[in-house]
Amino acid sequence: MVTLDLGGNNFSGKIPDSIGQLRRLEELHLHQNNMSGELPSTLSNCTNLISINFESNYFNGELSKVNFSTLPKLKTLDLLYNNFSGRVPKSLYSCSNLTALRLSGINLHGQLSTRIGDLKHLTFLSLAMNSFTNITNALHVLKRCKNLNTLLMGRNFRGELMPEDDFIGGFENIQVLALNDCPLFGKMPLWISKLANLEMLILNNNKLTGSIPSWIKDLKHLFYLDISNNSLTREIPINLMDMPMLHSEKAIFELPVYSGRSHQYRIGISFANMLDLSNNKFTGEIPLDIGQQESLFSLNLSFNELTGQIPISVCNLTNLLVLDFSNNDLTGAIPAALNNMHFLSAFNISNNDLEGPIPSGGQFNTFQNSSFYGNPKLCGSMLTQKCGLASTPPATIMTSKQPDYKVPFVIAFSVFFGVGVLYDQTILPRYLG
């Protein structure tokens, strides 16, 4: 037997010791079952194994029971969502042909060994949802893995300082970096600016402070940016609106991640262009150049301290599925042309100081009343306050007028971005695993 695939069933119990008799086995898939117990040491006898997938089971014990050094051909190992304990087994570092390694959500702890740098062919590494410590050490040892293009380490390093060491290098091929939900202190570090091939940057749910750095414009390939739920301040920089990849198409992105628990490993996933700056302390007006990002599918600026009017240029974002400007201090009218955004499926402008009629027709006929709550000067058929027969939408005028009071943050609105999400942690509910 060369391939054994029993994934996606309701099997329970342990892996039998007799598994070691399948010495020609190359593919072993037991993912998404209800299996438990320790991994049998006899697994080490399957010396021709190339791929192992035990994702989403209840296996426990320490991984060191398996001598991975006897599996020199192993290329992919996926242990996501199990109940293991202990540390990364030393024998695993002998699997020099590993290209994809996922040890997410399996209760590992400690610091990363310098020996992980021996995995020279590693392109995908996920250590998310564990209890690893010393992020500075982790980055310094991982930079030896020169072929890494995906690095997911969220939900570790709890309460540590984001390293600002300018000399952190060696990640020239990184396309996806996730350091979310740690929560890390400090600022957005300069070393990220050196990741010339970075396409997805996920730093949400940390405690980062300061402003969005000017070097963000140097990430020429970035099309997915999530820095929500931090304490970032000052105005949204204009150069963020000029980033070329944020307003160009990105249809298919080849990543060994799941778009959902039922999908197979290493499939092509569509990731839509996303900009999420929500739940920070940004001030000033929404940049007028926001309309340049015509390929954005999701734009979330909610729960900040933004002022001024909704710029008419937002109506140029005709591909938007998600638009959330809620819980700010925005004033003026809702641009009537927003009803031409035919793909918009989630819309929220609640808890601002907007006024005048709510546009009618198009997608506006499908939005919930809660999308408009907390704007006492708005009127419309879906609200208690109806518009007079002579009411017409006020002209949209760009202004820097500041409101003289702060609208309280009453309703929290979060949108699960369902076009294509990095899914194992944010799970990826929007967070990588």
Q: What is the pLDDT along the chain (433 residues), one digit of tens a residue?
A: 999 999 999 999 999 999 999 999 999 999 999 999 999 999 999 999 999 999 999 999 999 999 999 999 999 999 999 999 999 999 999 999 999 999 999 999 999 999 999 999 999 999 999 999 999 999 999 999 999 999 999 999 999 999 987 777 788 899 999 999 999 999 999 999 999 999 999 999 999 999 999 999 889 899 999 999 999 999 999 888 877 665 555 544 344 454 444 344 444 455 778 999 999 999 999 999 998 888 889 999 999 999 999 999 999 999 899 999 999 999 999 999 998 898 999 999 999 999 999 998 888 888 989 999 999 999 988 788 888 754 444 444 333 333 332 332 222 222 222 323 344 443 343 335 6
Tell which of 23, 48, 76 closes a domain. Answer: 76
User: 123 and 39 in one domain?
Assistant: no
Q: How far apart are CA 374 and CA 399, in angstroms?
A: 22
pLDDT of res. 267: 45
Structural domain boundaries enclosing 5:
1-76
**39: CATH:** 3.80.10.10
CA geometry: angle 252, 192, 164, nearest 5 deg: 155
CA distances from 208 to 162, 232, 250, 312 (A): 8, 6, 28, 31
Q: Is residue 394 part of a domain?
A: no
User: 348 and 267 in one domain?
Assistant: yes
In a 13 Å sphere around the CA of 220, the CA atoms on its Cβ side amount to 2
User: 180 and 152 in one domain?
Assistant: yes
Tell which of 379, 395, 415 closes a domain. Answer: 379
Residues 6+ apart with CB under 8 A from 310: 286, 325, 330, 332, 334, 335, 349, 354, 396
Q: Is residue 426 part of a domain?
A: no
User: 268 and 214 in one domain?
Assistant: yes
User: 85 and 41 in one domain?
Assistant: no
User: 100 and 34 in one domain?
Assistant: no
CA distances from 394 to 164, 353, 391 (A): 48, 14, 9
pLDDT of res. 397: 37
pLDDT of res. 227: 97
User: 304 and 173 in one domain?
Assistant: yes
User: 85 and 63 in one domain?
Assistant: no
User: 338 and 251 in one domain?
Assistant: yes
Question: Which residue has tokens 């995906």?
Answer: 150
CA distances from 73 to 19, 26, 49, 97, 428 (A): 17, 9, 6, 6, 29
Q: Are 333 and 309 in contact (CB under 8 A)?
A: yes
Q: Is residue 418 part of a domain?
A: no
- In the chain, how many domains are there? 2
Q: How far apart are CA 372 and CA 378, in angstroms?
A: 8
pLDDT of res. 293: 85
Q: Is residue 287 part of a domain?
A: yes
Tell which of 76, 94, 115 closes a domain. Answer: 76
User: What residue type is assigned to position 19 of the chain?
Assistant: I
User: 81 and 11 in one domain?
Assistant: no
The 8-class DSSP code of residue 46 comes to -
User: 89 and 51 in one domain?
Assistant: no
Q: Are 19 and 43 in contact (CB under 8 A)?
A: yes
User: What residue type is assigned to position 414 of the chain?
Assistant: S
Structure-token pair, residue 104: 């997410």
At 142 the three-state DSSP class reads: helix
pLDDT of res. 365: 86
Question: Structure pTM?
Answer: 0.87
User: 195 and 264 in one domain?
Assistant: yes
Q: Is residue 401 part of a domain?
A: no
Q: Is residue 310 part of a domain?
A: yes
Q: Is residue 228 part of a domain?
A: yes
Q: How far apart are CA 69 and CA 50, in angstroms?
A: 13
